[in-house]
A and B are shown apart, each in its own frame.
Chain A
Amino acid sequence: MDDLATYAENTWCPGCGNFGILSAFKKAVKKLEDKGTQKEKIMISAGIGCHAKIFDYLKLSGLYSIHGRSMATVQGMKLANPDLKVVAFAGDGDAFWEGISHLIFAAKRNADITVIIHDNGVYGLTTGQYAPTSEKGFKGPSTPEGSVEEPLNPLSLMLESNATFIARGYPVKLDHLADLMAQAIEHEGFSFVDVLQPCVTFNNTYQKYNSLVEILDHLPESYDEAMSIAKRKDKLPLGIIYKSEKTPFHKLLYGDFNPVMNSMPREKRRENIARLLSL
């Protein structure tokens, strides 16, 4: 029995890359459980779009957020109770257009959150408009003559933003993706997994990705090496592109404090106020 499933009816198109992401995430949760993480400590959030339906399909607690904001939502969760592991699912439109400020600054401040991008290079749920990662020339209902914009590179963007864990996965390589997700969640600090997600209805990239993906055989040793891998176009390397250790935001902000668990009692607050009023 699948104890991570809910009764919600799955409405993704047959063959959608999201199925692989869902399966890989469940596997990742199992891996973490096997290593001692309680699944009730894993909180999820999602933006709006096809990707976000994963929120309803996963029997995990969390908050179904709004377009572009899941990355902010989970930062608030982490700040309130740092004992929790928090995961934000986001689409490419979600993370790189509507909510890009939250993504960049979560990376910059090394917020201890995991962001999983369902990167399909298209707007699925709103019927096929071009997206930040669409190829130039992409034809959709808002760009009938083809998009005139160059696509954005999520990996180099995250490198520039000082992310401390950056990876790319592909749902066809299911176990590999599950492993990346588990490592991302385990990473203390900001972790980012860009998942190449074919959209069978509006942007079917299976063939292209199958011929271009290549699992990295080693962890890049330097920032510069990571950047050159991120920028490769002849191949789409999969795996952890960059990883470094840095104290996460909440610890820099308040050390070992936990706002929910250590919330200041009423009497102490009254004393504080009396003292401040007497200044």
Chain B
Amino acid sequence: MQEGVFTFLVGGKAGEGVKKAGSVAAGIFAGMGRWAFEMDDYQSLIRGGHNFSIVSTAPRKITSHYMKADLVVALDRRSYDAHKDDLTDGGTIVYNSDTLSDVEGIGVPLTREAKKYPKPDLRMGVGAVTILAASLGLEKDDLKKIVEYEYPRDIENNINYAMAIYDIVYPEIKSKFKLDAGDKKRPIISGNQAIALGAEAGGLDLYFAYPMTPSSPLLHYLAKYSKELGVVTVHPENEIGVINMAIGSVFCGAKAMVGSSGGGFALMQEAFSLAGMVEAPLFCYLGSRLGPSTGVPTYTAQGDLKFALHQGQGEFPRIVASPGSIEEAFNLSSEMLDLVWRFQTPGILLSEKHLGESYMTVDIDVNKAKWLQPLMHEKGEYKRYLDTENGISPLLFPPSKKLIKWDSYEHDELGITTENPEMIAEMQGKRNRKTETIVDHMKTLHTVNIYGDKGPVIFTYGSTTMSVLEALQSGDIEAEVVQPIYLEPLPVWELEKYKGIEVIVIEQSCTGQFASLLFEKCGIKAKAVIKKFDGRAFEPVELAAKIEEVV
């Protein structure tokens, strides 16, 4: 275990406020100026089942949760059974003594105390936070402030409950886990929030989405802050309505975005191709769950890589990028908005449940966000599809005395349907020439992250990057980690130097799509592909052991 890392795990039934307790814990650590990473493991149900939230914190940047916890709070028997072995050496488990007895650990009558108030189930999370606070040695006054801020509904009863639990648990656990303060307070946000805020920074005007886990929290976040952010948020009848409305919006000059997960994204394919044809600057978010089909809705996977790369019938340029951290998700979101408008073609921000729904302390510099003014028509005759050297035709938005026609059929420069062979070839050429223009521009951007410069070369991408970096920390392994931020066009100009080196590829896929992409595009061969496809993100200690095995 890494020195300085402290992990808190809270488990219980859905409806007991487990996730909220995890987020309050993460907030406590962030408030101490420490770094924190929160992973919520929840099932596709509203009541019952087994949910848990794990928060790991360190005085240095931490990019994953750890499965071995220093403090486990089990709100029910199932959580106790599931996590009693997830303790670090010297770790403590606190359990709800009203649901089980005669077990190791510290029993606290969480239910009995809660029943003194209305809606006892809703107090459970407050109890878990109180146990954590007592173990960290927080004073009652500090705890009171936290409860007041975080649990504003029925404040009085929540505070009384917290104080009662504190008095019971404190003598048992008193300040067992005193943690050092960190260097500065940082905001703690989820990947979905980072993507939403990045798009806001890049000028997003409208967001269209139909709910689908794990992308729905982005819809909820933008809907909640719609007025404040100036982002009109619309939830239409289905994903097909979503993307076609968004394309109608960008036609009018609005920066629009759509978001979904696998199945919903599949429904958008036809109009994704429409966006390619009409040259619509459309920004799409694909938040992956484990597929195929309905798959495992609330769990993570990277099985949609080639699905994203090959969206839509026909040939047209597209941009696909995947953030390797929550901070990067913010910057990349604004950069993708910039790129799709710069090149008037659809782009996909590909991510996973593990990034979208995990929370992390971040250092975000809002001034780094991109802000593009698209190429606009200036004067004279207007042709929507003017055949230019770099393939980019100037834009003009309605209302205008000039004719603006975007056409899903093959068309001439004005946007009138054509079946003329010379014109067809000219327009196919014009559109696909933009790929070269995109590559030229991307050569001026930061497209690949490289961490470390000694030891074996490890290729990874997306949220798995966070797991890999933490695994190297925890195992004290020296390696050079290469993470392409862009997957289409893949920055081969940056990756060529790895050709001929036997690399390790790490990805959350059953078939090794990323490894196959690297070979196909760059001729990079993997001597080992470490894969995981059970819906759970890599755990740093386990992953470190796997890396050691193949090095």
- Report the Cα distance A43→B398, complex, angstroms: 8
Interface window among B156-164, B197-205, B428-436: B197-205
- With both beta carbons as reference points, the residue of chain A lying nearest to B415 in the complex is identified as A64
Contact A76 B366 (CB under 8 A): no
- With both beta carbons as reference points, the residue of chain A lying nearest to B229 in the complex is identified as A272
Query: Cβ of B49 < 8 Å from any Cβ of A?
Result: no
A69 cross-chain contacts in B, Cβ below 8 A: 240, 244, 271, 274
With A40-B399, A273-B197, A273-B201 in contact, do A76 and B274 touch (Cβ < 8 Å)? no
Q: Which of A41, A64, A80, A253 has the most CB of B within 10 A?
A: A80
Contact A74 B248 (CB under 8 A): yes
Query: Cβ of B477 < 8 Å from any Cβ of A?
Result: no
- Report the Cα distance A53→B369, complex, angstroms: 43
- Report the Cα distance A73→B403, complex, angstroms: 18
Taking the closest CB of chain A, its distance from the CB of B218, in whole angstroms, is 14
Contact A76 B237 (CB under 8 A): no
With A64-B417, A75-B245, A273-B366 in contact, do A80 and B408 touch (Cβ < 8 Å)? no
Contact A80 B366 (CB under 8 A): no
Query: Cβ of A198 < 8 Å from any Cβ of B?
Result: no
Selected contact of B248 from candidates A63, A262, A270, CB within 8 Å: A63
Contact A65 B244 (CB under 8 A): yes
Among B306-365, those with CB < 8 Å from A are 364
- Report the Cα distance A274→B228, complex, angstroms: 12
Query: Cβ of A1 < 8 Å from any Cβ of B?
Result: no
- With both beta carbons as reference points, the residue of chain B lying nearest to A263 in the complex is identified as B205
With A72-B248, A77-B252, A80-B254 in contact, do A65 and B274 touch (Cβ < 8 Å)? yes
Query: Cβ of B452 < 8 Å from any Cβ of A?
Result: no
Query: Cβ of A8 < 8 Å from any Cβ of B?
Result: yes
Query: Cβ of B519 < 8 Å from any Cβ of A?
Result: no
Query: Cβ of B451 < 8 Å from any Cβ of A?
Result: no
B4 cross-chain contacts in A, Cβ below 8 A: none
We find that the number of chain B residues with CB closer than 8 angstroms to chain A is 59
Taking the closest CB of chain A, its distance from the CB of B292, in whole angstroms, is 24
- Report the Cα distance A164→B386, complex, angstroms: 41
B152 cross-chain contacts in A, Cβ below 8 A: none
A4-47 CB contact bits vs B (8 Å, 1 = yes)? 00111000000000000000000000000000001011010100
B401 cross-chain contacts in A, Cβ below 8 A: 40
- Report the Cα distance A102→B240, complex, angstroms: 9
Query: Cβ of A278 < 8 Å from any Cβ of B?
Result: yes
Contact B405 A61 (CB under 8 A): yes
Among B234-259, those with CB < 8 Å from A are 234, 236-238, 240-241, 244-256
Contact A56 B417 (CB under 8 A): yes
Q: Which of A7, A55, A79 has the most CB of B within 10 A?
A: A79
Taking the closest CB of chain B, its distance from the CB of A36, in whole angstroms, is 14
Contact B270 A72 (CB under 8 A): no
B247 cross-chain contacts in A, Cβ below 8 A: 63, 73, 76
With A259-B254, A273-B366 in contact, do A59 and B403 touch (Cβ < 8 Å)? yes
Contact A73 B416 (CB under 8 A): no
B228 cross-chain contacts in A, Cβ below 8 A: 272, 276
A58-102 CB contact bits vs B (8 Å, 1 = yes)? 011111111001001111111111011000000000000000011
- Report the Cα distance A104→B232, complex, angstroms: 22
Contact A270 B366 (CB under 8 A): yes
B369 cross-chain contacts in A, Cβ below 8 A: 270
Selected contact of B256 from candidates A6, A76, A101, A102, CB within 8 Å: A76
Contact A66 B274 (CB under 8 A): yes
Contact B201 A76 (CB under 8 A): no
- Report the Cα distance A77→B245, complex, angstroms: 7
- Report the Cα distance A176→B433, complex, angstroms: 49
Taking the closest CB of chain A, its distance from the CB of B402, in whole angstroms, is 8
With A253-B232, A263-B203 in contact, do A72 and B189 touch (Cβ < 8 Å)? no
- With both beta carbons as reference points, the residue of chain A lying nearest to B280 in the complex is identified as A63
Taking the closest CB of chain A, its distance from the CB of B411, in whole angstroms, is 8
B189 cross-chain contacts in A, Cβ below 8 A: 277
Query: Cβ of A260 < 8 Å from any Cβ of B?
Result: yes
A64 cross-chain contacts in B, Cβ below 8 A: 278, 405-409, 411, 415, 417
Among B400-458, those with CB < 8 Å from A are 400-401, 403-409, 411, 414-417
Contact A56 B416 (CB under 8 A): yes
Query: Cβ of A105 < 8 Å from any Cβ of B?
Result: yes
Query: Cβ of A233 < 8 Å from any Cβ of B?
Result: no
Selected contact of B403 from candidates A61, A83, A264, CB within 8 Å: A61
B270 cross-chain contacts in A, Cβ below 8 A: 66
B185-199 CB contact bits vs A (8 Å, 1 = yes)? 001010000000100
Q: Which of A65, A83, A84 has the most CB of B within 10 A?
A: A65
- Report the Cα distance A276→B285, complex, angstroms: 21
With A80-B205, A273-B201 in contact, do A101 and B406 touch (Cβ < 8 Å)? no
- Report the Cα distance A78→B235, complex, angstroms: 15
- Report the Cα distance A6→B414, complex, angstroms: 10
- With both beta carbons as reference points, the residue of chain B lying nearest to A76 in the complex is identified as B248
A60 cross-chain contacts in B, Cβ below 8 A: 403
Taking the closest CB of chain B, its distance from the CB of A26, in whole angstroms, is 15
Contact A105 B408 (CB under 8 A): no
- With both beta carbons as reference points, the residue of chain B lying nearest to A278 in the complex is identified as B187
With A40-B401, A272-B229, A277-B364 in contact, do A63 and B249 touch (Cβ < 8 Å)? no
| 5 additional A-B residue pairs with CB within 8 Å, beyond A43-B398, A260-B253 | A84-B398, A263-B203, A263-B230, A264-B230, A266-B203
Closest 8 CB pairs of A and B: A76-B248, A76-B245, A264-B230, A72-B244, A80-B254, A80-B252, A80-B249, A61-B404
A-B contact pairs, 10 of them (CB 8 A): A40-B399, A53-B417, A60-B403, A63-B408, A73-B247, A80-B206, A80-B252, A259-B230, A269-B230, A272-B200
Show the binding face of B for A, using Cβ within 8 Å.
187, 189, 197, 200-201, 203, 205-206, 208, 225, 228-230, 232, 234, 236-238, 240-241, 244-256, 270-271, 274, 278, 364, 366-367, 369, 371, 397-401, 403-409, 411, 414-417
